[in-house]
Homo-oligomer: A and B are copies of this chain.
Amino acid sequence: MIIAEKARPAPDWQVSRWFNSSKALQVGDFAGKVIVLEAFQMLCPGCIYYGLPMAQKITSHFKPEDVAVIGLHTVFEHHHAMGPEALEVFLKEYRITFPVGVDEKGDDAMPRTMEAYHMQGTPSTILIDAQGRYRTRYFGTVEDMRIAADITKLIAERDANLAMNEEETFTSDAADLIGATNDQCTDEGCKLP
């Protein structure tokens, strides 16, 4: 995983249609949660056998306030066989209940979001941290222990950040201290010289 300090904002999702969601979704909507972005194609065997069952399992092992699982239909071949109408049936038959976006087709027929994330194929699993930063990506199958450990790290990091932010909040409450010149201490605290 990319360490938090070096991580950059996850690219926006470019989605032409959403399923299992009444509105368009974006990375920023999930601030405070770890996002598992599961990229798949409905006719990709590895997605059916491993990727999607893992994504589904994540929804039952982690709390919705901690982790958001989002599917992304990144069709990069055989577009005619995997249109939105077929996908809708697919999601119903496979009982997939998390939101799934159809990755927007670019000029070269490559899905735009897939390109933005430099994915190498399907299934790909992307982890985005609670601050919306891109942290890691897997291509192909991932062992349950591995993905669960990585998700949990990001949740713990968020919780630590929350604690740190509270300290920072303290710091910012004490911000006016910074400018204090006459006296080193106020009722709120003390400033080192």
Residues of chain A at the chain B interface (Cβ within 8 Å): 42-45, 48-49, 57-58, 61-62, 78, 80-82, 85-86, 88-90, 93-94, 143-149, 151-153, 156-157, 159-160, 163, 184-185, 189-190, 192
**Which of A49, A90, A148 is packed against the most chain B CB atoms within 10 Å?**
A148
Check A145 against B58 for contact (C-beta < 8 Å): yes
Closest B-chain residue to A54, C-beta based? B145
- Residues of chain B within 8 A (CB-CB) of A153 are 152, 156
Candidates B62, B86, B157, B189; contact of A86 at CB < 8 Å: B86
Would you mind naming 10 contact pairs between A and B with Cβ atoms under 8 Å apart? Answer: A45-B94, A58-B145, A61-B145, A62-B149, A78-B89, A149-B151, A153-B156, A159-B160, A184-B185, A190-B192
Number of copies: 4
CA distance A167 to B190 in the complex (A): 17
Given known A61-B143, A89-B78, contact A152–B148 (CB-CB < 8 A)? yes
Assembly CA distance A101 to B44 (angstroms): 22
Bound CA span A62–B42, Å: 31
Is the beta-carbon distance between B61 and A146 smaller than 8 angstroms?
A: yes
B145 and A93 contact, CB distance less than 8 A: no
Which residues does chain B contribute within 8 Å of A185, judged by CB atoms?
Answer: 184-185, 190
Known contacts A144-B148, A149-B62, A163-B160; is-contact A43 B89 (Cβ 8 Å):
yes
**Which residue on B lies nearest to A48, using beta carbons?**
B48
With contacts A89-B81, A192-B189 taken as known, whether A156 is within 8 angstroms of B160 at the C-beta atoms is yes
> Closest B-chain residue to A152, C-beta based?
B152
Are A156 and B145 within 8 A (Cβ)? Answer: no
Hey, which chain B residues are within 8 Å of A148, CB to CB?
Answer: 144-146, 148-149, 152
